[in-house]
Amino acid sequence: QKEVEQDPGPLSVPEGAIVSLNCTYSNSAFQYFMWYRQYSRKGPELLMYTYSSGNKEDGRFTAQVDKSSKYISLFIRDSQPSDSATYLCASNSGNTPLVFGKGTRLSVIA
Amino acid sequence: NAGVTQTPKFQVLKTGQSMTLQCAQDMNHNSMYWYRQDPGMGLRLIYYSASEGTTDKGEVPNGYNVSRLNKREFSLRLESAAPSQTSVYFCASRERGGVETQYFGPGTRLLVL
């Protein structure tokens, strides 16, 4: 079992929908939680990060971590066609290398 | 400010050939990483270098070697390419400590025939 599990999708939603992307992790030592966005044929880029449990909001994006259930979520409000990409969750315990989920491919249909 | 650069962008090799993938960063980062990305497998760590002069194996190191040439450059070498090494390779760099933000390069697409 990988330390970070993520449903690869694909996920297809209409424009304006609320999108929920989720990951689970198994390593209790993980404290940093990231979401990366990867457009087709590009490198991943950091979208959001959180430290330990809690929520973090940035515009239409909200990242949520529940350490008690080892659950990581990313919510996208008012989704746009430009949000169509692969979203990767990642985590680590500090200076250790990031462990990535497999990524979820999202399509937002106009 | 170029960030993380990778060369070449695309390469075709025959089985048994060797090649070196180059990576450079201009952000003065201590740590550098090499990943491969395959359909359905996500990003898998091949090797990393926590600081200049050190390298460590990741999840899938077999068939690869690395060199941390200096603080800026981290190369990945395939000594005898195999079709199973057909993949997209990403280099990344990161500051040490604090927010664990990794910056990725644009990738190298490798096809081994």
B29-50 per-position pLDDT tens digit = 999 999 999 988 889 999 999 8
- Could you give the CA distance from residue A54 to residue A51 in angstroms, rounded to a whole number? 8
The residue-averaged pLDDT of B90-106 equals 82
Three-class secondary structure of residue A4 per DSSP: strand
Q: Are the beta carbons of A70 and A91 closer than 8 angstroms?
A: no
Output the pLDDT for position B98.
Answer: 53
User: Please, which residues have CB within 8 angstroms of residue A21's CB and are 6 or more apart in sequence?
Assistant: A11, A35, A73, A74, A75, A76, A87, A89, A104, A106
Grade residue B95 by pLDDT with cuts at 50, 70 and 90: confident
Output the pLDDT for position B41.
Answer: 84
Of the candidates B4, B40, B58, the beta carbon closest to that of A97 is on B58
Is the pLDDT confidence value at A101 over 90?
yes
- Does A46 contact B at CB distance below 8 Å? yes
Output the pLDDT for position A1.
Answer: 65
pLDDT digits (tens, 9 = 90+) for B48-92: 998 888 999 999 999 999 999 899 999 999 999 999 999 999 999
The residue-averaged pLDDT of A6-15 equals 91
Kindly determine whether residue A41 and residue B42, on different chains, have CB atoms separated by under 8 Å.
no
pLDDT digits (tens, 9 = 90+) for A44-75: 999 998 888 889 999 999 999 999 999 999 99
pLDDT digits (tens, 9 = 90+) for A73-100: 999 999 999 999 999 999 988 778 889 9
- Does A102 contact B at CB distance below 8 Å? yes
Is the pLDDT confidence value at B96 over 70?
no
Kindly determine whether residue A49 and residue B101, on different chains, have CB atoms separated by under 8 Å.
yes
- Could you give the CA distance from residue B38 to residue B85 in angstroms, rounded to a whole number? 10
Sign of CA dihedral B77, B81, B82, B88: positive
Q: How far is A15 from chain B (nearest CA, A)?
A: 26
Residues of chain B with pLDDT > 70: what percent?
95
Sign of CA dihedral B34, A4, A32, A73: positive
Output the pLDDT for position A49.
Answer: 87
